[in-house]
Amino acid sequence: MQESLDWWRENPLRIREGDIPYESAVRALGTSDAPVELRKQNSSRWTLYVRDTDQVAVLSYAAIFSMADDYYSGNLIPTGQPLPEDLPSERIERFATWKCQYAYAFDTAYDKTLFNLQQMLEEYASSLPGFNPTGLPRREYQSGNDLAYTWRYWMRAPMFIRINEGEVRPPPPPHLHPWVIAAEKRSRIYRANPGRPRVFSFDGEVISSIENSDPDLLQRGDIVLVHFVVSIVFTPSAWYTELIPVELVRVVPVLRLTSDALESGPPTIDVAARPALMDGERIGGTLIII
């Protein structure tokens, strides 16, 4: 598994189209080889851009899938609809709000690289002129400081975006879930985010939408290539890093990893060279019993 993770982390699916390996990009920050740079986007956000351009960087990283909310409706559950068993009640939202999200979690129980890279990015950001001039604290959630909370890493994309004063709200894209469209129509201050993360599978040659794949859901343990954008966000009380997923691609199914392990089997002992112990066998030579 680690060999597959390492390979996919350095080999984006669409490197010619500009996708950038996340790990090597973060490790190169501040050097002449860095493909990205962290710049102030506005008063509340610093974002990674392709170096010397105004193009937001799309980063690529391979991780082990753990769990997700519904791919199409996230944690938005209108009143009267059945509640998913695996969605905590405190995360359920009934109406359009900033708390509505498309959320995906990745297993970091043994591989803490996502947290390590986040800390490297934040250390670099803290060295930049003009970053955090008021000395706000880093939000503790998903900071990586407490190892008890580093067994899973969440990436989230907003389901709704606040409408600026005077902004004309475009109609919601038809590809969004009916619940999302209905919630937007009931809201006067939010519009639906057209950039819902899309989920795919890759069979080595062809990309397929996850609903046209078998299995048609990501499975715990799948190796997934995530494409995302990175920002550091400032609130009135704290700041934090967010990795916003754009696309997720299953590149190695957990079933293949499992079958490969079973097919390889344990090593075979040559019983002619090293016979097995036998009941009643007499051991020659002198043994010292302690």
Longest dimension (CA), the chain: 94
The percentage of the chain sitting over the pLDDT mark of 90, rounded to a whole number, equals 71
pLDDT at 102 over 80: yes
Can you tell me the distance from the alpha carbon of 224 to that of 247, in angstroms, rounded to the nearest whole number? 10
Long-range contacts of 43-47 (CB under 8 A, 24+ apart): 43/234, 44/233, 44/234, 44/235, 45/231, 45/232, 45/233, 45/234, 46/125, 46/131, 46/231, 46/232, 47/229, 47/230, 47/231, 47/232
- pLDDT of 223-254, one tens digit each? 999 999 999 999 999 999 999 999 999 999 98
Can you tell me the distance from the alpha carbon of 226 to that of 228, in angstroms, rounded to the nearest whole number? 6
Token pair for 142 = 């998903």
- The answer to whether 219 and 211 are in contact (CB under 8 A) is no
Q: What is the pTM of this model?
A: 0.85
Please report which confidence band the pLDDT of residue 286 belongs to, taking 50, 70 and 90 as the band edges.
low
pLDDT at 89 over 90: no
Residue 172, pLDDT score: 86
Average pLDDT, the chain: 89
- The answer to whether 17 and 247 are in contact (CB under 8 A) is no
